[in-house]
Structures are given as structure tokens and as C-alpha cells.
A and B are shown apart, each in its own frame.
Chain A
Amino acid sequence: MFSDIERKIIVGERLSKEDALYLFRSEEIHNIGKLADYVSRKINNDKVYFIINIHINPTNICVNRCKFCAFSRSKGDPDAYEMTIKEIIDRLKEVSQSVGYVKEVHIVSGLHPEWDFRYYLDMLQSIKKEFPHIGIKAFTAVEIDYFSKIANFSIEETLLKLKSAGLDIMPGGGAEIFNPEIRNIICPEKISGKRWLEIIKTAHSLGIKTNATMLYGHLESFEHRVDHLLKLRELQDETGGFLAFIPLSYQPQNTEIKVLYPSGIDDLKTIAISRLFLDNIPHIKAYWIMLGEKLAQLSLLYGADCLEGTVIEEKIAHSAGARSKRGLTLKEIISMIREVGKIPVERDSFYNVVKLW
């Protein structure tokens, strides 16, 4: 069976669902990794992409209280917070000055019960006005759905308004796991997987590129993972709008779903199989915040070709016990990539090369 999968990969034939399931159940971690690295090098040569970015989470107040989330708060909670646009701009200024420059800002937030849609448009406009060269990657499909409701616009109208206010691309969050039964347990209030895919499809049709994610290592089975990957692959065939796929390794601390951290082997396998199965998505990103820096580095030889950026001050995963640092320096990222024998490539939001290091 493995040799058949190997053959398919070499001749460029697509893996079936059964192939992917076989790989998830297989113990052949080193062979899977080798194959995934072969594919990764075929697509991205020896390059590993990263971006100098900052995460901003304007509020942790959220009307959804997903069971896997340790970040969200209700209005009135003592540690609930809200950022004004001025605070966001000041934060960006401060970081741009201390780091030298920032290429992208990643904005995701709780679903605030009172903020007006206008506030988000103003936020984007103000950022673009102050920092025209910073790419804005903002709002998951879950937030888009919420905005369309509070503003009473269609998804298309909502996205168009955000786009003209300065939205460049969208992150891939909120996908979690598409399977309705599992989703109903871990995040019953969140939009369905089907709705997530519809919104992303609309974004792609309007020329907004997005990422895709999958949260794994909680209650889902391997079948659920493969189904999830398949839905992403199908949508990508249709739209070509996904830039990168980011498997998210579950962080159980401070959440309501008490399971173990996924094992290092499971993380590597999931990354490698994603690379092998998602033959139409150009980049697989190692989200070091959840994997830890060390596993993330290793994953660059197991199918990942992209590292989450320098990330100044990550909050969401760290609320759930992420054991990584809150940010990595440029030097650390470059050294991580060079040690695996690959070429560090600083990119912009659209994967244009900013600099070869």
C-alpha cells in the first residue's frame, strides 16, 4: 500500500481518501516525511517562507464561547478587554519602530456583541492610511458571517466593503473541523463547516485570497481529518483561492475539552499528510506557536515550507497553554531554517519575495 502511494506521488497522481487514511494509521513516519519533503521541494524548491508580522486581537469579548477556546471572555468579565482604533495604531507604530518594519498585520477578534460594522471598516481604513505598505490579513469566515448579520449585508457586500476599506487577504481560522457532530460538541455556537466553506468561496470569487486551517487533536477521528482535507481540496480545485494550509495542533490547557496535547509524531504526520493530500494548495505552514519552535523546525523536513512569522505577542494559543515563546526574532527564524539546510525567504502577504536571506 505504501509503495502504491509512493508511486502515485512520484507520477503526480492524486491521493484518494483511503490513501490519506492509510497514512494516518501508518507507523512509517520517516517514509511519510521523506515523501512529503520530496513534494515540498518539488513545489517550493528548498525555500522556507516567513513574514515579519504582528498579531492584533482587538477584543477578547465574544458572543460564541467555544469549548476549545481559552481566550474568549464575556462582556463584564474582569479580564475582558477592548482596543480602540487609536490603541491599535499606536501598537503598530510602537512595533514598527522597535522591529524596524512590519510587513503584515494579522487581525482576528472575538465577536463583540456591541461593536458596529463601521468600527471594523474604520479600523482597516485607519491602518491603511497610516501604514500603506503593511498587508492586512484580517477576519475569519466566522467574523465575516457575524458582520453580515450585524450590518444586515450579504456576505458578498460585507466582503466588498471590507476589501475597499483595505482588507488584503483573510486568515484561515474558524474552520476547526468541518464534521458537524464534532463541531456541535466543540463549538456549537459557531457557524457550520458548510457555511465556512461558502463564505471562503465567496471571498475567493471576489479576488480575496485566504488561508485554510484545521484544528486537530481534540475529539475528531482520522476520518474527520481526511474529510476536512478533502473539502478544502475540492474548494481549491474550484477557486484556487487558498494560499496556505495551516494545521493547528490542539492546545488543551484552560479549555473545556480535556485531552492530551497531540504527540510530536501526530503533528509531523498531520503536516506531512496535508502536504501529500493537498496537491493544489501551494503552501503548508508550520504554526510554531502551537507546535513549539522545535517541532516546527523539524516539520520543515516533513512537508512544511512556511513558518508562521515573527509574530509579536501571540495571545490566543497562549491562553490555552501554548508552550512556545510569544514571538520569535528574525535571527531565530533564519537560524531555524538554515539549520535544516533550506533557504529562508522573507515574503509579503501574497508570497512575493521580499528578501532572500
Chain B
Amino acid sequence: MVRVSKKEAVEMLKELSIYELAQRADEIRQKLHPQGIVTFVVDRNINYTNICINKCKFCAFWRPKEHPEAYIISKDELAQKIEETLALGGTQILLQGGVHPDLALDFYIDMLKFIKSSFNIHVHGFSPPEISFLAKKEGITVKEVLQRLKCAGLDSIPGGGAEILSDRVRRIQSPNKINSAEWLNVMREAHKLGMRTSATMMFGSIEAEEDIIEHLDAIRELQDETGGFTAFIPWSFQPLNTELKKENPELQPAGSVKYLRVLSLSRIYLDNFKNIQVSWVTQGIKIAQVGLRFGANDFGSTMLEENVVRSAGVSYRVTMNEIIEAIKSVGFKPAQRDTYYNILKFF
């Protein structure tokens, strides 16, 4: 099949009817996943700190260091959370900050070693802004940081912090965060070291259609180069309690229609990505179910704990069983997977 060009993609996102976008995405999903399997991972989000130097305007989770709610997780707490995750059949933890100004590489290495020496669990951890910060703080290359973290037990890297890979938008909404090229570079280096990562996109803030396509194109190109992305996960900006909302009081959260249009276009554009994930945490179960007919083949995580989106006032809570039933009831076969999308168990 001929690749969709950037120009075509912008036109599609702007002009094509929702039915045609859906139909095309649905056909591609069916071709890539002909058995109708929809996967999910059992994991827990662990935010080791909420102290963050980036202070992104779309984020309601971060706190300054001196804030009464600021924290760094203790080892006891970390161990307890991992034990609970394993007890519930979990296979991975999603370990993310805050980019804490004072924590040096040793803290991370120590944390990873502690986890790996005590538990048999996959660590899907940090994100390019955290890695990039450590490189600067330590005065070493991104590659060295990654090597040392990998050595200490880091298995794979989540695709967070990508937001929109358009520097025009980043300069406004996350001026302190790494730019697009740096984000992509961390992922490139990780892939080269044999680490797999996912890619995300946060849309529905102040970007234009062109910015969304810019983003998709950048990760498609990198995927051509490395093949290291496991999946793509678009989700929409949740404005409550954020600085961006205060600065733009007219900003309304992107609705489900926008979400589904972006989701299906992602499936169409990212022809070198095997997996597209729905975001039930931001969209709710019903739209996540519908998303399975708009190109997605993965239900993401069971989210035994989720803090970041919840800080922005959205909290859809569901159990693993609800996820399994939700997948079955729209005619797909639910399966638990690991971080690499290997199937562990059918339900």
C-alpha cells in the first residue's frame, strides 16, 4: 500500500468524514490483527516523585519542592506497591517522575537495583525528559545514561513527554521541557541499545492539525530507522487544574469525536507501527470500546494506580475483569500481554 503523505494526512484529518476514517483504520487493524485479539497489560503506575522542574502548563500533577504535597517515594512504599502489583497478576510497573532537580543518576540506579534485586517485574520506566535531564545533570551523553540505567535494570521506556512533537506548540505549553529533536534522540539511542519504547501524543490543547501530523511523521520516520517502537498511544489534553486552562479559559477538552478522528488517522498514517492503544483513562470505557473499531487493537493498562490524569479531574476506574468483559462484548478476544506485546494469557 502506498504511504500516506503529510499533506494527504492533514487533508484527511481536516476533511474526511468520520465514517471513512474509521472504515480505513478498521480495515488496517483487521489486516494487522486478523484474529481479533485485543491485548492489555496488568500494571501499576508508580510516580516516584511529583516534584518537577518542567512545570508544564497542561499538567496538574507536579508540585514545587517546598509544597506540602511534594513527595519522593520511600523504598518501603515502593516495595509495597510492587508486591501488590505482583499479587494482582501484574507484570510491569510504569515508573515515572517528576523531573526532580536534586536527584542524580545514583538515585535512579539505586532504585532500579533495589527493585530488580527484590522482585521479578518488568520496569517500564522514565521518559525522555527524565533521561535527558540526567544526561545534563551528570554531564554525560544520553547514551551513557541509558546504558547505566539499562545495566541497573531498566527494561523499556514509556513514550511520555512527547506531548506534541512540534516545537512551535512546545515553546508555548511546555517551555522548560526538552524539544522534539531531543525527545526523538533519546528514543533513537534507546532503540539502538536494544531497548523498546512506546510513543505517545497529547493533543487537544492549542495545536493545529498540522502539528498533529508533524508529530506522527516524526515518529514514523524514526520507526523506519530503528523499528524500536512497540505501540502508539494518543490521548487528549485534560484541562482541569492546569495552567494552560487558566491562560486559555475558553479551552474546552477535546471531545470523543476529535479523539476518534485522531486515533483512526494514527492507525492509517503509522503504517510501520503494529499496535495502537486506546486511552480508556481519558475517554471512558464506552469510547475505548468504540476505539477498537477506529483502528486500535490494545486496551492499554489495567492501571492499578494512576495519578497524573486523576490530578486533572478525570478518573475512570475499572477492574481487570471489566476490561476483559468490555473487550468481549464488542466481539474481540481479550488477552493479557507483556510489555513487548507477547501474549501471556487468553481470557
Q: Do A and B come from one complex?
A: yes
The residue on B at minimum CB distance from A249 is: B286
**Contact between A265 and B257, CB atoms less than 8 A apart:** no
**Contact between B329 and A30, CB atoms less than 8 A apart:** no
**Contact between B257 and A295, CB atoms less than 8 A apart:** no
Interface residue stretch chosen among B99-107, B130-138, B265-273, B287-295: B287-295
Cβ of B18 within 8 Å of any chain A Cβ, yes or no, is yes
Cβ of B252 within 8 Å of any chain A Cβ, yes or no, is yes
Cβ of A193 within 8 Å of any chain B Cβ, yes or no, is no
Interface residue stretch chosen among B19-27, B120-128, B165-173: B19-27
Q: How far is the CA of A339 from the CA of B251 in the complex (A)?
A: 12
Closest CB in chain A relative to B121 CB, distance in Å: 31
Q: How far is the CA of A261 from the CA of B326 in the complex (A)?
A: 9
Cβ of B47 within 8 Å of any chain A Cβ, yes or no, is no
Q: How far is the CA of A266 from the CA of B285 in the complex (A)?
A: 13
The residue on A at minimum CB distance from B288 is: A264
**Contact between B287 and A294, CB atoms less than 8 A apart:** yes
Closest CB in chain A relative to B29 CB, distance in Å: 12
Cβ of A29 within 8 Å of any chain B Cβ, yes or no, is yes
Cβ of A154 within 8 Å of any chain B Cβ, yes or no, is no
**Contact between A263 and B330, CB atoms less than 8 A apart:** yes
**Contact between B290 and A339, CB atoms less than 8 A apart:** no
**Contact between B255 and A294, CB atoms less than 8 A apart:** yes
Known: A260-B325, A263-B326, A263-B330. A294 touches B252 (CB 8 A): no
| Interface residue ranges of A266-322 to B (CB < 8 Å) | 266-268, 291-292, 294-295, 297-298, 301
Chain A residues with Cβ below 8 Å from B293 are: 29-30, 265
Cβ of B316 within 8 Å of any chain A Cβ, yes or no, is yes
- Which DSSP category, helix, strand, loop or mixed, fits chain B's interface? helix
The residue on A at minimum CB distance from B326 is: A263
Chain B residues with Cβ below 8 Å from A29 are: 293
Chain B residues with Cβ below 8 Å from A152 are: none
The residue on A at minimum CB distance from B294 is: A30
Annotate A329-357 by CB proximity to B: 1 below 8 A, 0 otherwise. Answer: 00110011001100000000000000000
Chain B residues with Cβ below 8 Å from A266 are: 329
Cβ of B64 within 8 Å of any chain A Cβ, yes or no, is no
Chain B residues with Cβ below 8 Å from A93 are: none
Known: A263-B289, A323-B316, A339-B258. A292 touches B23 (CB 8 A): no
Chain B residues with Cβ below 8 Å from A267 are: 286
Cβ of B260 within 8 Å of any chain A Cβ, yes or no, is yes
Known: A294-B255, A297-B256, A297-B257. A264 touches B19 (CB 8 A): no
- Residues of chain B at the chain A interface (Cβ within 8 Å): 17-19, 22-23, 26, 252, 254-260, 283-290, 293, 316, 322, 325-326, 329-331
Return the 3 tightest CB-CB contacts between A and B, nearest first: A264-B286, A294-B256, A34-B19
Selected A-B contacts with CB under 8 Å, 9 pairs: A33-B18, A264-B286, A266-B329, A295-B286, A298-B260, A301-B257, A335-B252, A335-B255, A339-B258
- Residues of chain A at the chain B interface (Cβ within 8 Å): 27, 29-31, 33-34, 37, 260-261, 263-268, 291-292, 294-295, 297-298, 301, 323, 331-332, 335-336, 339-340
